[in-house]
A = this chain, B = another copy of it.
Amino acid sequence: MSELRLQPRSSGIADVAGFRLNGAAADIRGKGDDRLDVALIVSDAPAASAGVFTRNAFAAAPVALCREVLRGGSRVRAVVANSGNANACTGERGHGDAERMQALAAEAAGCEAGEVFVCSTGRIGEALPMDRLGRGIALAGADLGSTATHGERAADAILTSDTRRKVATARVMTAAGTFTVAGMAKGAGMIEPGMATMLAFLATDAMVAPGGLRKALGDAVDTTFNAITVDGDMSTNDTVLLLANGASGVRPAGGDLARFREAVRLVCDALAEKIVGDGEKITKVVELLVGGAASRADAEAVARAIGNSLLVKSSWYGNDPNWGRILDAAGYAHAAFDPARVALAYAASAKHKPVPVFAAGTAAAQNKPRWKKIVARPRFTIRLDLGAGRHAYRLLSADLTEGYVNFNKSE
Residues in chain A within 8 A of chain B (CB atoms): 55-59, 86, 88-93, 123-125, 189-190, 192, 194, 231-236, 308-311, 314-315, 317-320, 322-325, 327-335, 337, 339-340, 358, 360-363, 400-402, 404-411
**A339 cross-chain contacts in B, Cβ below 8 A:** 57-58, 89
Q: Which of B194, B232, B235, B311 contacts A189 (CB 8 A)?
A: B311
CA of A236 to CA of B325, assembled, Å:
10
Name the distance in Å between A148's Cβ and chain B's nearest Cβ.
34
Q: Could you tell me if A56 and B332 are in contact, using CB atoms closer than 8 angstroms?
A: yes
Given contacts A124-B328, A308-B232, A317-B405, whether A89 and B58 have CB atoms under 8 Å apart is no
**A311 cross-chain contacts in B, Cβ below 8 A:** 189-190, 231, 233, 408
Q: Could you tell me if B332 and A125 are in contact, using CB atoms closer than 8 angstroms?
A: no
**A189 cross-chain contacts in B, Cβ below 8 A:** 311
CA of A79 to CA of B340, assembled, Å:
27
Given contacts A310-B231, A331-B58, whether A324 and B190 have CB atoms under 8 Å apart is no
Q: Which of B91, B308, B331, B401 contacts A236 (CB 8 A)?
A: B331
Q: Could you tell me if A337 and B57 are in contact, using CB atoms closer than 8 angstroms?
A: yes
Name the distance in Å between A363's Cβ and chain B's nearest Cβ.
5
**A194 cross-chain contacts in B, Cβ below 8 A:** 332
**A340 cross-chain contacts in B, Cβ below 8 A:** 91
**A404 cross-chain contacts in B, Cβ below 8 A:** 310, 314, 405
Name the distance in Å between A384's Cβ and chain B's nearest Cβ.
12
Beyond known contacts A123-B324, A233-B311, A314-B408: 11 more, CB 8 A cutoff: A57-B332, A57-B337, A58-B328, A89-B362, A125-B323, A125-B358, A233-B332, A310-B310, A322-B410, A402-B405, A404-B405
What are 11 inter-chain pairs, A to B, with CB distance below 8 A?
A: A55-B334, A57-B330, A57-B339, A58-B339, A59-B331, A88-B328, A125-B358, A233-B309, A320-B409, A320-B411, A402-B406
Name the distance in Å between A301's Cβ and chain B's nearest Cβ.
11
**A233 cross-chain contacts in B, Cβ below 8 A:** 309-311, 325, 328-329, 332
Given contacts A125-B324, A231-B310, A410-B319, whether A362 and B91 have CB atoms under 8 Å apart is yes
CA of A402 to CA of B339, assembled, Å:
33
Name the distance in Å between A234's Cβ and chain B's nearest Cβ.
4
Q: Which of B309, B318, B361 contacts A410 (CB 8 A)?
A: B318
- For A408, the closest partner residue in chain B by CB is B314
**A192 cross-chain contacts in B, Cβ below 8 A:** 332
CA of A332 to CA of B125, assembled, Å:
17
